[in-house]
Homo-oligomer: A and B are copies of this chain.
Amino acid sequence: MCFVHICYEAIRNGLLTPMTKKNIPRPTESELEILQVLWQHGPSTVRLVNDELSKRRDVGYTTTLKLLQLMHEKGIVTRDDSSRTHVYRPALREQETQGQLIDRLLEAAFGGSALKLVQQALGNRRTTREELDQIRDLLDNIDPHATPSATDTPDELA
């Protein structure tokens, strides 16, 4: 299992590309906080990001700056430094990153079962009827008819 693990670590740290995916490190919690601001406000200066963060908690300007610089180094954000005040934007779309994070959580805590995750997300939470309806729509859109992956188990009873 050594080699496998080495590869896993390497991929995790962005040294190898799984060929199908881009080489983006997993955002930390602080970095996610910033990404949420960028997703919501679009391309932003350090000042703007910091102002947003400051609404929620106490954080110094240079802290936010440093974080954005690190995120830039890691490739989590891109930046336009043509003018003196740089403008940062997410390297990945919101959905892509969220998908990554769910995959991570799925592996880390749910043994890979998306079903269990969704059950947990919906079960212990008050969800509005409207939201439930939207999820029903989603289920129908996934298409109960054409679902191709439906049968991994070839042992459909004969």
Contact = CB atoms under 8 A, between A and B. Distances in A.
Contacts of A119: 134-135, 138
Given A95-B124, A129-B143, A129-B147, A5 B58 contact: yes
A150 B129 contact: yes
Interface in A116-158: 116-136, 138-140, 142-145, 147, 149-152
A22 interface: no
Contact of A139 (B54, B106, B111, B136): B136
Contact of A128 (B58, B105, B147): B147
B111 A122 contact: no
Interface residues of A, number: 63
A21 interface: no
A67 B2 CA distance: 20
A69 interface: no
A17 B111 CA distance: 29
Contacts of A56: 1, 5
A97 interface: yes
14 contacts: A2-B57, A32-B108, A98-B109, A98-B117, A101-B105, A102-B105, A102-B117, A105-B105, A115-B127, A115-B134, A122-B138, A122-B139, A127-B149, A135-B135
Given A98-B117, A117-B121, 7 more contacts: A98-B109, A102-B120, A102-B121, A118-B138, A123-B142, A127-B142, A128-B152
